[in-house]
């Protein structure tokens, strides 16, 4: 299956990489329109597959079409009537003229997660196609339905055969075969740290380039000059959005000691009021975890924290609501003042679990926030303009949110540092990792180069 997909992609690449940018842009816009026409059906599939509330899924599908539109614009701007990008480069020697060409890299293997099935795929597919690459997409086996529909949309939009391929299967089978295939020029992966290490090792054998967007354990720092209601809502949204199954979740919350008690009281009240249940019902804000395996993993971490005697502010168990009895539900869970070496504090949980810790000074909280093996994102809530800038500079992360948590836009790059991986999705430069640079140097002088004495520098000399 993988070999067939890669062979098809190599054929599709020859056609698609030679297609002018304006035509590629047109096809990308047609893909966006096809997504829009299927919005409701795709959102329902996403909710059925991943368990996320339907209104979240609808929001995701809007972002999918917007991402294709954005890279249609970028494709038009970068390539225009050519299939490649080219610019003149001034050189220090007048005898030579320099050009820089940027061309499609080739066939790209994309391995994507289950928490945003179609959106995470689109973050990679749209810029890769805009660059002129062909892709083989391997979505998570836990949530692949919408990615398969994307294949139908691409055919309908006029994408050449083989330019976009979807393969399904387990990571240790289909994913491993994709990484090892010699017909794949690059791998771009979003998922867990553990799988990222395996992929990096597999690609190293052929010195195959790889881009990794891995886990996170992001911090949210709340100062005492904030609007308490806004701070509590962003704390909830930052951790419990997407049922807590998001790599950038600000699950480590730091609250200034002066407002600790007020914040915790309001946080508990608000967390216990979050509507959960059937994710297909409008108004649901917390659905089930994606699978039994993920539910058991999260619950084991919660139970270990409880056995160690960590203070549980709220949650930590399955809801008593009869509608949640059969699903993989977990109440919004908040621990307070756990040790900084605790598993629930340091490790990515990927579920609706938050840890809150108190701080006294800006210097102290910067050190605690940066004390993590991950460095994807961080957020600060404060009304002090100077403090916002200081915290933005101090956070050792790839993403900083100010007075909010989790917003994401196609116009800005997404990615982290440390064990959160390397490489960036999205942004104006989002196509760069799917292009290779080729320098072209032309000798333009009429005179011989005359490095060797037997060649003189007389103009127009002939043999």
Residues labelled as active-site residues: 213
Q: What is the largest CA-CA distance in the chain?
A: 95
- Contact between 285 and 274 under an 8 Å Cβ cutoff? The reply is yes
Find where tokens 């210097």 sit. 363
DSSP-assigned states of every residue in 389-450: HHHHHH--SSEEEES-S----TTS-B--EETTEE--BSSTTTTGGGEEEEEEEEE--SS---
Nearest 10 degrees: Cα torsion 325, 328, 334, 340 = 150
Q: If we measure between CA atoms, which residue out of 372, 408, 378 comes closest to residue 393? A: 378
Counting other chains too, the contacts that 101-104 makes at CB distance below 8 Å and 24 or more residues apart are: 101/437, 101/438, 101/439, 101/440, 102/78, 102/435, 102/436, 102/437, 102/438, 103/17, 103/132, 103/435, 103/436, 103/438, 104/13, 104/16, 104/17, 104/131, 104/132, 104/133, 104/434, 104/435, 104/436
Strands in 219-222's sheet, in edge-to-edge order, are 311-314, 333-336, 353-359, 252-256, 219-222, 377-381, 399-402
- Quick one: which of 177, 193, 209, 134 has its CA closest to 350? 193
Instruction: Decide: 60 and 50 in contact? Cβ < 8 Å.
Output: no
Return all residues near 436 (Cβ < 8 A) that are at least 6 apart. Answer: 102, 103, 104, 105
How far apart, in whole angstroms, are the C-alpha atoms of residue 75 and residue 401? 28
* Cα angle: 224, vertex 230, 236; to 5 degrees: 105
Q: Collect all residues with Cβ–Cβ distance below 8 Å to 261 and sequence separation of at least 6.
A: none
Cα separation, 315 vs 293, whole angstroms = 20
Give whole-number Cα distances, 130 to 22, 147, 163, 281, in Å. 10, 18, 11, 36
**Interacting residues of 175 by C-beta distance below 8 A, sequence separation 6+:** 111, 138, 169, 195, 199
Give the three-class secondary structure for 26: helix
Tokens of 301: 């971490």
């Amino acid at each position: 299956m993988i070999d067939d997909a890669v062979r098809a992609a190599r054929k599709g690449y020859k056609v698609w990489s030679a297609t002018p940018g304006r035509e590629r842009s047109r096809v990308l816009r047609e893909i966006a329109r096809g997504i829009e026409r299927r919005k409701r059906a795709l959102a329902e599939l996403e909710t059925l597959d991943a368990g996320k509330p339907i209104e979240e899924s609808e929001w995701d599908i809007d972002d999918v079409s917007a991402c294709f539109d954005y890279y249609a614009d970028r494709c038009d701007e970068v390539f225009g009537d050519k299939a490649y990008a080219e610019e003149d480069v001034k050189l220090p020697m007048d005898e030579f003229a320099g050009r820089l060409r940027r061309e499609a890299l080739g066939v790209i293997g994309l391995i994507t997660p289950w928490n945003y099935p179609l959106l995470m795929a689109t973050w990679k597919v749209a810029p890769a196609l805009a660059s002129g690459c062909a892709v083989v997409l391997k979505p998570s086996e836990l949530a692949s339905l919408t990615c398969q529909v994307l294949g139908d949309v691409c055919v309908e939009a006029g994408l050449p055969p083989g330019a976009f391929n979807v393969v399904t299967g387990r990571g240790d089978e289909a994913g491993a075969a994709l990484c090892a295939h010699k017909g794949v020029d690059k791998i771009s992966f979003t998922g867990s740290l553990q799988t990222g290490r395996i992929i990096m090792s597999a690609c190293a054998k052929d010195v195959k380039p790889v881009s990794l967007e891995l886990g996170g354990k992001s911090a949210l720092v709340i100062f005492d000059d904030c609007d308490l209601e806004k701070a509590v809502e962003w704390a909830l949204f930052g951790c419990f959005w997407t049922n807590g199954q998001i790599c950038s979740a600000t699950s480590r919350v730091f609250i200034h000691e002066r407002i600790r008690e007020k914040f915790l009281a309001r946080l508990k009240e608000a967390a216990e009021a979050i509507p959960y249940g059937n994710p297909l019902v409008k108004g649901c804000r917390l659905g089930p975890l994606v699978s039994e395996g993920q539910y058991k993993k999260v619950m084991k971490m919660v139970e270990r924290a409880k056995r160690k005697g960590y203070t549980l502010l709220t949650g930590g168990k399955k809801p008593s609501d009869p509608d949640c009895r059969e699903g993989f539900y977990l109440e919004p869970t908040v621990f307070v003042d756990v040790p900084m070496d605790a598993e629930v504090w340091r490790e990515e949980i990927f579920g609706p679990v938050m840890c809150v810790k108190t701080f006294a000074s800006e210097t102290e909280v910067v050190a605690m926030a940066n004390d993590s093996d991950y460095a994807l994102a961080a957020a600060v809530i404060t009304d002090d303009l100077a403090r916002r800038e200081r915290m933005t500079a101090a956070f050792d992360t790839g993403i900083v949110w100010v007075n909010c948590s989790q917003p994401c836009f196609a116009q800005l790059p997404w990615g982290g540092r440390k064990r959160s991986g390397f490489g960036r999705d999205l942004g104006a430069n989002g196509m760069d990792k799917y292009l290779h640079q080729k320098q072209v140097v032309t000798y333009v002088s009429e005179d011989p180069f005359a490095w060797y004495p037997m060649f003189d520098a007389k103009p127009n000399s002939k043999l």
